[in-house]
Structure 1
Amino acid sequence: MTIATWNGTVIAESDDIVTVEGNAYFPRESVRDDVLRPSDTHTVCPWKGTASYFTLEVDGQVNRDAAWYYPQPKDAAAEITGRVAFWKGVQVR
């Protein structure tokens, strides 16, 4: 089981992880909805496509753009469709 935590709180857990470029992508349904806040941030990867972001909010603490996903990944990255990855201090183990 792979678990993502931030500030001591489990925000995602799954045994169905896809690893791309060293990042663990969790199925979206395995991520807690109550800690995700939509973000207007977007970035572009030449081979994966355009990423969208979520801000995490746990116990009043905010971690801006700490989760990302590809709503419509390019064909080369089809395996991460419907998946979310983390950074900015989120511990994945």
Structure 2
Amino acid sequence: MKAVIDNVVIAEAPRDELLSIEGNWYFPPSSIAEGALVESPTPYTCPWKGVCQYYHVVADGVTHSDGAWAYPTPYPSAFDRVGADFSGYVAFGRDVSVID
């Protein structure tokens, strides 16, 4: 599967390496294109997943604010709910198309 914005692939991995959580595809950290994400200072804590890290998505010189997020150290109880360790996996906002 691919995550694409402005005709630029910013993440790519086989479907069986992705996780679907609450309707969002989460890509493994190793699948993210180098330089595609820049940490954002936007704060958020999910009540069941834990502290979230937002990222600006950079594609072809254009920055899309808070276009991605991850949970670097999710709550351990979230692993049971998701069925896998999703530490550092990255999901994308509506500006990014995830295609099979």
Q: Output the TM-score relative to the length of structure 2.
A: 0.85
Whether the 8 Å contact between 1:71 and 1:82 is mirrored in structure 2 is yes
Please list, as runs of the form range in 1=range in 2, the aligned pairs for 1:67-86 lying within 5 A after superposition: 67-78=68-79, 79-86=85-92
- 1:87 matched to 2:75? The reply is no
Deviations 1:10-44 (A, max 9, x none): 00011110111011110011001212111111211
Taking only aligned residues, the RMSD between alpha carbons, in angstroms, comes to 1.1
Please list, as runs of the form range in 1=range in 2, the aligned pairs for 1:1-93 lying within 5 A after superposition: 2-15=1-14, 16-78=17-79, 79-93=85-99
Q: CA deviation at 1:82?
A: 2.4
Which structure carries more strand by proportion? 1
Q: 2 CA distance for matches of 1:38 and 1:49?
A: 17
Q: 1 CA distance for matches of 2:94 and 2:18?
A: 19
Q: CA deviation at 1:76?
A: 2.8
Unaligned 5+ runs, structure 2:
80-84
Q: Percent same amino acid among aligned pairs? A: 39
Unaligned 5+ runs, structure 1:
none
Q: Output the TM-score relative to the length of structure 1.
A: 0.91
Whether the 8 Å contact between 2:44 and 2:53 is mirrored in structure 1 is yes
Misfit runs of 4+, over 6 Å = none
